[in-house]
Structure 1
Amino acid sequence: MVSTLFPSAFFFFFFFFFIFVCSPVFLFFCNASAALLESLPTLSFEEGYTQLFGGGNLILLGDGKRVRISLDERTGAGFASQDLYLHGFFSASIKLPADYAAGVVVAFYMSNGDVFPKTHDELDFEFLGNIRGREWRVQTNVYGNGSTAVGREERYELWFDPTEDFHRYSILWNHERITFYIDDIPIRETVRSAAMAGCFPSKPMSLYSTIWDGSGWATSGGRYKVNYRYAPYVAEFQDLVIHGCAVNPMDHSSACERPDAAIYGSSTMSPEQRAQMDGFRRKHMTYYYCYDRDRYPTPPAECKMDQIETRQYYGADGVRYGGHRRRRRGGRHNRSSVAQADAAL
Structure 2
Amino acid sequence: MAMAASRCFLLLLLLLLSPLLEPGAGEEEQEAVLAMAARLPRPAAVSFREGYTQLFGDSNLALHGHGKRVRISLDERTGAGFASQDAYLHGFFSASIKLPADYAAGVVVAFYMSNGDVYEKTHDELDFEFLGNIKGREWRVQTNVYGNGSTSVGREERYGLWFDPTEDFHRYAILWSHDRIVFYIDETPIREVQRTKSMGVQFPSKPMSLYATIWDGSSWATSGGRYKVNYKYAPFVAEFSELMLHGCTIDTLTHAPMCAPDIASIHNAVAMSGRQRSAMERFRTKYMTYGYCYDRLRYPTPLSECNVGPEAELFLPTGEARSMDRHGRARRHRRGPADSAF
Q: Tell me which interval the TM-score lies in, with the shorter structure as reference length.
A: 0.7 to 0.9
Go from structure 1 to structure 2 and tell me whether the alpha carbon gap of 1:16 and 1:287 turns closer, same or farther (over 3 Å shift). closer
One-letter amino acid of the structure 2 residue matched with residue 319 of structure 1: E
Contact 1:129 1:135 (C-alpha < 8 Å) held by counterparts: no
2:221 aligned counterpart, secondary structure: coil
1:259 aligned counterpart, secondary structure: helix
Go from structure 1 to structure 2 and tell me whether the alpha carbon gap of 1:222 and 1:15 turns closer, same or farther (over 3 Å shift). closer
1:212 aligns with 2:215: yes
1:136 aligns with 2:139: yes
Structure 2 counterpart of 1:200, from 183, 186, 203: 203
One-letter amino acid of the structure 2 residue matched with residue 25 of structure 1: A
Match of 2:34 in 1: 22
Match of 2:324 in 1: 323
State the 1:25 CA deviation. 2.9
1:287 aligns with 2:293: no
Structure 2 counterpart of 1:310, from 312, 316, 340: 312
1:111 aligns with 2:114: yes
1:298 aligns with 2:301: yes
One-letter amino acid of the structure 1 residue matched with residue 34 of structure 2: C
One-letter amino acid of the structure 2 residue matched with residue 316 of structure 1: P
**1:189-219: CA deviation from partner (whole Å, max 9, x where unpaired):** 0011112111100000000000000011101
State the 1:27 CA deviation. 9.5
State the 1:121 CA deviation. 0.3
1:277 aligned counterpart, secondary structure: helix
1:240 aligned counterpart, secondary structure: strand
Structure 1 counterpart of 2:224, from 200, 217, 221: 221
Structure 1 counterpart of 2:194, from 191, 195, 206: 191
State the 1:248 CA deviation. 1.8
1:278 aligns with 2:290: no
CA distance in 2, matches of 1:165, 1:295: 36
Structure 1 counterpart of 2:85, from 74, 77, 82: 82
Match of 2:19 in 1: none
State the 1:231 CA deviation. 0.2
Q: 1:246-265, aligned counterparts within 5 Å?
A: 246-265=249-268
Go from structure 1 to structure 2 and tell me whether the alpha carbon gap of 1:16 and 1:292 turns closer, same or farther (over 3 Å shift). closer
State the 1:298 CA deviation. 1.2
CA distance in 1, matches of 2:52, 2:269: 27
Contact 1:21 1:27 (C-alpha < 8 Å) held by counterparts: no
State the 1:148 CA deviation. 0.7
State the 1:223 CA deviation. 1.6
State the 1:106 CA deviation. 0.2
Go from structure 1 to structure 2 and tell me whether the alpha carbon gap of 1:74 and 1:296 turns closer, same or farther (over 3 Å shift). same
Contact 1:174 1:264 (C-alpha < 8 Å) held by counterparts: yes
Structure 1 counterpart of 2:96, from 72, 93, 97: 93
Q: TM-score, normalised by structure 2?
A: 0.84
Uncovered stretches (5+) of structure 1, i.e. residues with no partner: 1-13, 29-35, 328-345
Structure 1 counterpart of 2:167, from 164, 177, 184: 164
State the 1:15 CA deviation. 11
Q: Share of identical aligned residues, percent? A: 66
Return 109-118 or 241-250, whichever deviates more: 241-250
State the 1:61 CA deviation. 0.4
CA distance in 2, matches of 1:215, 1:23: 50
Contact 2:289 2:324 (C-alpha < 8 Å) held by counterparts: no
Match of 1:48 in 2: 51
1:146 aligned counterpart, secondary structure: coil
Count of residue pairs brought into register by the alignment: 302
State the 1:21 CA deviation. 3.0
One-letter amino acid of the structure 2 residue matched with residue 222 of structure 1: G
One-letter amino acid of the structure 1 residue matched with residue 252 of structure 2: P
Go from structure 1 to structure 2 and tell me whether the alpha carbon gap of 1:225 and 1:250 turns closer, same or farther (over 3 Å shift). farther
One-letter amino acid of the structure 2 residue matched with residue 22 of structure 1: L
Match of 1:339 in 2: none
State the 1:24 CA deviation. 6.6
Report the aligned-residue RMSD: 2.1
State the 1:26 CA deviation. 6.4
Q: TM-score, normalised by structure 1?
A: 0.83
One-letter amino acid of the structure 1 residue matched with residue 62 of structure 2: I
